Structure 1
Amino acid sequence: MLSPAEHGENLLRTEIAACRICADHLPHGVRPVASFSATARLLIIGQAPGSKVHESGIPWDDASGDRLREWTGLSKAQMYDPARVALVPMGFCYPGKASGGDKPPRPECARQWHARVLDLLPDDRLTLLVGTYAQAHYLPDARKLSMTGRVHAFRDYLPRFFPLPHPAWRSTIWMRQNPWFEAEVLPELREAVARQL
């Protein structure tokens, strides 16, 4: 028999899977992708699923996910264990292509679902804010800083948040331009992630 917490989780997952709030704006159809449980002490908030994730239905199931696992030190088994890691993008569905990349995540999604998902998670969680959309939403006082500025000042947001660049292919160029990220940020990121697990 399910506990009340497990019943609440399952109900929320069912509601998210049935969501059609953005359906008219999603050229490739509705396929919400998120993973969470009431015991996950590490929360990763990204942008929105890309085309590969839309096809597979598995969060971070692409080259960006490989790079994020390399940055964090997470294995695939750890990352995809919802009891340990919650994967909750700003937009749960693939928004489609735009010039130079994917369209932004649909804003309706975070307004509709984030508070309800986050209310299930432990209070002592660490949240990785991956990319500018997640940082703009959860670090509104830091909007005057660039993404690079927020990542460089990551200690200012601990122990609750850890801002990161999006691990898309462009991040390789960004890392070359900002060698402090690999030298200073990644070791502390891996330690922080390991503590939460």
Structure 2
Amino acid sequence: MATALQRLLPELRACAVCEPHLPLGAKPIFQLDRRAPILIAGQAPGRVAHEKGRPFDDASGDRLRAWLGVPRETFYDPRCFAIVPMGMCFPGTGKGGDLPPRPECAPLWRDRVLAALPGIRLTLAIGSHALGWHLRRKASVDELVAGWREGLAHGLLPLPHPSPRNQRWLRDRPWFEAEVLPALREEVAQALAVRHHGARKE
């Protein structure tokens, strides 16, 4: 019998709801496996991700993997990490960088996708749009990330975007590297260890 995720995947791949608004056309970028213990909730694929068909395969991804303390092969193992951006297609660029995720995407897909991921133990919400949706409140990235301990108590760790554009934000907030990153790596290691232990028992 097909799982909920297996039934959903063809619909996700074929989605073209936002096609009229997308400069490079519809091309949903995500990574999914129902066994994944960690969900990376990003913003939207960038141009490089659109071209490669793979999320976070750029400088932002290099920094994110360093934050997580995992190699590329673990990061791109869908049994370890589910990667589902708020908008699954590249939205285009504006004066300040990439445009926000298309607003049609999350209401259409997000609840259905998350319901099909029963193994998620830790959610990493990255950037303002993912933070707002997953934490269900409006506040600055600064405020939401500063409250990381409260989020972590509920299995959700708020993070700034790892983009090189955020270098100043990171430099001005040394507490992020000193306090948040060690906790992040510990939580990621624990979630992956539980998955691997469970896989051996299956």
1:49-74, Cα deviation, whole Å (9 max, x unpaired): 00000000001111111110011112
- Deviation at 1:171? 2.1
1:114 corresponds to which of 83, 91, 110: 110
Alpha-carbon separation, structure 1, partners of 2:50 and 2:30: 11
2:183 corresponds to which of 165, 182, 188: 188
Instruction: Give the residue type in structure 2 aligned to 1:26.
Output: L
1:125-154, Cα deviation, whole Å (9 max, x unpaired): 21000000001111123x2x3211111110
RMSD: 1.2
- Aligned identity (percent) is 49
Equivalent pairs counted in the alignment come to: 191
- What SS does the aligned partner of 1:107 have? coil
- What SS does the aligned partner of 1:104 have? coil
Residue in structure 2 matched with residue 70 of structure 1 by the alignment: 66
Instruction: Give the residue type in structure 2 aligned to 1:191.
Output: E
CA contact (8 A) 1:43 1:128 kept: yes
Residue in structure 2 matched with residue 79 of structure 1 by the alignment: 75
CA contact (8 A) 2:36 2:120 kept: no
The answer to whether structure 1 residue 178 and structure 2 residue 173 are counterparts is yes
Consecutive unaligned residues of structure 1, counting only runs of 5 or more, are none
Residue in structure 2 matched with residue 11 of structure 1 by the alignment: 7
CA contact (8 A) 1:17 1:31 kept: yes
Alpha-carbon separation, structure 1, partners of 2:41 and 2:71: 18
Alpha-carbon separation, structure 2, partners of 1:137 and 1:81: 25
Alpha-carbon separation, structure 1, partners of 2:59 and 2:8: 29
- What SS does the aligned partner of 1:116 have? helix
Alpha-carbon separation, structure 2, partners of 1:123 and 1:196: 10
Residue in structure 2 matched with residue 162 of structure 1 by the alignment: 157
Consecutive unaligned residues of structure 2, counting only runs of 5 or more, are 193-202
Residue in structure 1 matched with residue 199 of structure 2 by the alignment: none
Residue in structure 2 matched with residue 52 of structure 1 by the alignment: 48
CA contact (8 A) 1:37 1:121 kept: yes
- Deviation at 1:124? 4.9
Alpha-carbon separation, structure 2, partners of 1:135 and 1:9: 24
TM-score by structure 2 length? Answer: 0.91
CA contact (8 A) 1:37 1:120 kept: no
Instruction: Give the residue type in structure 2 aligned to 1:196.
Output: A
TM-score by structure 1 length? Answer: 0.93
- Deviation at 1:44? 0.2
CA contact (8 A) 2:34 2:119 kept: no
